[in-house]
Structures are given as structure tokens and as C-alpha cells.
Amino acid sequence: MKEILLTFKRLTWFFKANLKNYLFCALALLFVSVMPVIPTKVLGIAIDDIVMGSVTIDRIILYIMGLLVIPVFIYCVNIYYHYTMNKLGQDISYKLREQYLEHLFELDSSIYEKYTKGDLIARISNDLTTVSGLATSFLQNVIYYFVTIVASITMMVVINPILCLVSIVFMPFAIFILNNIRKRKRQYYKKHHEIYGEMTENVLESIESAKTVRAYGMEEEDYKKTKTAIDNDTNSWWYIQMFESLFVPMFELIYAVAYFIAIGLGTYMVIKSIISPGDLVSFLLYVGMLYGPLIGLSNVLNTISSINIASQRFFEIMDLDTEVHDVTNPLNIMKFNEIKFKDVNFKFPFDDFNVLSNINLTIKSGETIGIVGPTGSGKSTLIRQLLREFNISSGTILIDDIPIENYKIDDIRMMVGYVPQEHILFRRSVDDNILIGNPKASHEEIDNAMTVADFKKDLNELSSGEHTLVSELGGSLSGGQRQRLSIARALVKDPEILILDDSLSAVDALTETNIIKQLKETRVGKTNIIVAHCFSAIALADKIIVLQGGKITDIGTHHELLKYDNWYKMQYLIQIKGDNHEEL
């Protein structure tokens, strides 16, 4: 119960913003809960009049009108209530999803290392729906069931307190036993949520990797893996349903006994003229009205377990704080003269070793920098420090002699146009994919970006030119086309620093030459950082940095690095000889 109250507290902002709607809904719900006891009482009075022979045509019409008007009135109130409550449910779901997604974008990159996509989706779908229910269906059920039970029992006591006590005395014990059994199963509900998250991740992975799976003829193995995950989720759910199926009927048995007692003892009281026949009929109807709310109230306690677990999972993400954040009164920046790495060491939050060690480097505005090194040497990690995704472990990065931490993060990232190794494209048209880099770009700017990225020649091959719809993750384009479209997306931003992180690996030599040439001609005075395995892409760079084991082992121009024996010279000679077996 403590977790439920805490979740309520966390949703206080929504309750306050919609207080008037909640008050009207509460009044409507009270009305809907109490009013059904009146027709039951009217029916009992009518039966007594018939038995006693005192019924008249006028009374019959009055009884019929009462039995018809009250349900119609309840129906009208129900329309208002359900419309308003459903709207509140949609509103809170939308706002929580909006907050969740905004928070995800604000968090450090480490969040995506710790949590899988499937798990994050499960939290914003399954768990969020359960949490949203706390502000809608949960409140509705608690109020409706409680008021209906109180109203029904009150009318039963009015008819005969002894008959009421004997009829319902066993019901609280049945509910108490059922809930004690449920408490032992609550931990399993948490496990079920985890299994659901794993199933979602498996399904996503199968969809995203469909082409690769087919290429390797692994359809059957992938199907088995995904089916196993789905079966685990299904079996987990059936386990919960089996438990409910075994123990909920126990209450039905107790209820049947209570109903039998009410009929037997009630009939005896009618014979002894303690109560009237009409009172007995009304009493039995009130007993019948108790069944649904009592079962429902019992299920509410079970719902509490699901809400507790869903709330913990959802707000676990919402409570995560970013370690990379703006300082108080950060400085704005649009251009720079010089960036210095001074004794920079870096390790990822989830690692216990340095990926970068003792990095000392100066990048001047307008330079073209090439970065090479063996696989895993830290090339991508080095350039990503300019995106402020993580805080460095030690040392400092200075921009115009001011620590990078003192600048506004959004400004730093706006200065950088980053083309990663994995080219993520969206299910949009070609030009819309480019506009992601700069939503305000003109058609001329889009055209220029495609020209520099050497993508314009591909438009003739696409069914609708630049308006051609790109399939999900860029599956309808070749590897080279995806790379060049990603480069165009970064170029349309006209960034002060353009970073190509191994972004020319899938293009042919002529295309690579065209792109490098266009970059040098169109980005005069702007900085380019090119991470490459193919040395032809960085041969004309103003400065080439060689990284090995997270350390800078050489710095110089292409010709300077070829003057003495080193890793760069050895790899260059291998490449010009056409030997591609050496790992870069």
C-alpha cells in the first residue's frame, strides 16, 4: 500500500490539473453506486403490495415508472462518467509517454548500454498502461465497489440485522484467505514483467535483423529463439491465470453457501412473519449485488501488486539522472578557434579500464583531421568526446582555453555534425531524412548537401527521386547510399565541425574522391574530422592522428608519417599492395 500512495504522490500534478473533472466524476460514481439499491427496494415494496392485495393501477404505473426512469437516469450519468474518465486516462497516458521520451533523450548514452530496447519499450507500453490505470480504473473500482458494498449491506441491515450478519459472516474470511495466498505470488508478477520485456526485445531483434537472418539461412533458428521467448511470456501469463482460476472459485463457493443461508433463514423469517416476502426478495437481490463488488474489491488488491511492480519499473527510468549536464549559467558558443585535449583519460561507466589514456591533442578551426588505428583502439570514443555524451574520467578538454563543461551542451552539439558508423535512417522520404539535420533547410541547401555527399547521381535510380520513401532503417538503400544520405543529413546542418566516423567504408574509390574533394571546396574555414580505415580518405588531411590501445602513438601529415617506420607506414604499404588481410 505504501507504493500505491507513493505512486499517487508522483501523479499529484495530474490530479491537481484535473481536480474539477475528478470531483464531478466522483459525484457521478457515487450516484451510480448508490442508485441501484433503490429499484431493488421498490421491487420489494411492489411484491408486498401484490401479496397483501393492496396494489392499484396507479401504484403499478408508479412502480413501473420508477423501475424504468432510475436505470435510464443511471445510464445517462454513466455516459458522462465513462467519457470523462476515459479522456483523463488518455491524457495521463499521453503526458507520461511524453515525459518518458523527453527524459530518455536527456539521459546519458550509458542508459542504452544498461537497458535493452525491448525492456525500455515494455516500460513505456505495458508498465505505463498499468500506472495510468491507477488514475482511472483503479480509483473507479475502489470507489464503486466500496460504495456499492456499503449501500447494499446498509439496506440488508435495515431489512434485518441478524439475517444480514449470518449471511455475510463468512465472506470476509474468504477474501482474507484469498489475498494471503495472492501475497505469496506477488513476486512472480515482477518476474512476468521481466519476461514480457525479454519477449519484446526478441521480437524487435527478429524484425530488425530479418535480412541478415535470411542471408545466413538462419530463419529456423531465429524462429525457434523468438518462439521460445513468446512461449515463455505465454506460459508465464497462463501460470498467473491458472492461479486465479484455482483460487477465485473458492470465494464463489463461500458466496453460494452465504446465499443458501440467506434463502433458508430468510424463508423461515417470512414464515414466522419476521420479514415480509418483498423484504426477502429485496434482501436476496442485495446479496446478489454484493458478489461482483466483493470479487472486484478482492481483485483490486491483486491489481495493487501489478501497479506496484509497474510503477517501480516505470519510475526507475524516470528517476535516472544524467551525469552530463549544464553548469549553472553555461556559456553560449557558435564558433571556436581551438580545441585542446589535455591529459584526457576516459572509461565508460560500465567498464573498469581506460578506453583512452593520456590524450594530448590540439584541433584548430578550419583543419581537416584524419584519425586511424587498429580496431578497438578508441577512435570513435575519442571523437565522441566532442558530443558530450559522457564526462571524461580525468584531464580536461578546452575550447578556446575554457573547459568544455562550461559551455551549453546543446550549443556544443549544434556545432557538430556527426555521421556515425551505424547509419540510422527513418521511414521517411529521402529529403525528409536529410531535413532531420536541419528542419529549416531550404530546397537549395538540401540540393547542395546531396551534391557534396555525391548522392544526386542516385536520385535517377530511385522511383520518386528525392521524394522516394526510404524503408525502415534504410533497408531499401545500398550500404553506400545509406552512408552518403547520412553525410548529406549532417552537411545540411552546415556544422562548424563535421565528423565522419568510418562513413566512407561502403563507397567506391571514385565516390570517395568526389566527396573528399567537395568537402575541401565547400567547407573552407570549417573543421573536418575523418575516421577511416582506408588511408586514401585521409591522405590530404592537415593532421593525421594514429591511435593504438587508446593512446596517441603518432601525429603528422601523410608524408611526415611515411618518413620513418611506424604502424601507419606499415598499414599504408599493405593497402597500396592490395593486401586486405591485415586487420585495421
Structural domain boundaries enclosing 26: 2-318
Q: What is the CATH number of the domain that holds 433?
A: 3.40.50.300
pLDDT at 40 over 50: yes
Q: Does some domain include residue 327? A: no
CA gap 351, 114 in Å, rounded: 12
In-domain check, residue 282: yes
Q: Are residues 401 and 458 in the same domain?
A: yes
pLDDT in tens, 473-513: 777 788 888 888 888 999 998 899 999 888 877 777 888 88
Task: Please report whether residue 324 resides in a domain.
Answer: no
> Does 490 lie in the same domain as 371?
yes
Q: Is the pLDDT of residue 519 over 90?
A: no
Would the pLDDT of 384 be above 70?
Answer: yes
Residues 301 and 350 in one domain: no
Q: 429 and 290: one domain?
A: no
* Angle at CA of residue 122, ends 117 and 126, nearest 5°: 165
pLDDT on residue 498: 92
Residue 333 lies in a domain: no
- Is 60 exceeded by the pLDDT of residue 382? yes
pLDDT in tens, 295-308: 777 677 667 777 88
Q: Are residues 363 and 297 in the same domain?
A: no
Average pLDDT, integer, range 13-22: 91
323: in domain: no
Final residue of a structural domain among 285, 318, 351: 318
What is the count of structural domains for the chain? 2
Residues 6+ apart with CB under 8 A from 113: 348, 350
Percent of the chain with pLDDT over 70: 91
pLDDT at residue number 181: 65
Q: Are residues 427 and 306 in the same domain?
A: no
Predicted local distance difference test score (pLDDT) of residue 399: 93
Give the pLDDT of residue 188. Answer: 63
pLDDT of the residue at 584: 37
Is 352 in the same domain as 435?
A: yes
- 383 assigned to some structural domain: yes
pTM score of the predicted model? 0.68
Distance CA 185, CA 309 (A): 12
556-571 core/surface letters (b: 16 or more CB in 10 A; e: else)? bebeebeeeebbbeeb
Q: Is residue 330 a part of any domain in this protein?
A: no
Question: Where is the domain boundary, 318, 351, 378?
Answer: 318
Query: Nearest Cα to 14, choosing from 89, 86, 83?
Result: 89
Residues 45 and 82 in one domain: yes
CATH number at 258 reads 1.20.1560.10
Do 343 and 262 belong to one domain? no
In the predicted model, is pLDDT for residue 545 greater than 90? yes
370 and 272 together in one domain:
no
Long-range residue pairs from 60-68, CB within 8 A, at least 24 positions apart, any chain: 66/38, 66/39, 66/42, 67/39, 67/42, 67/43
Q: Within this chain, do residues 260 and 381 fall inside the same structural domain, yes or no?
A: no
User: Is position 329 within any domain?
Assistant: no
Are residues 402 and 256 part of one domain? no
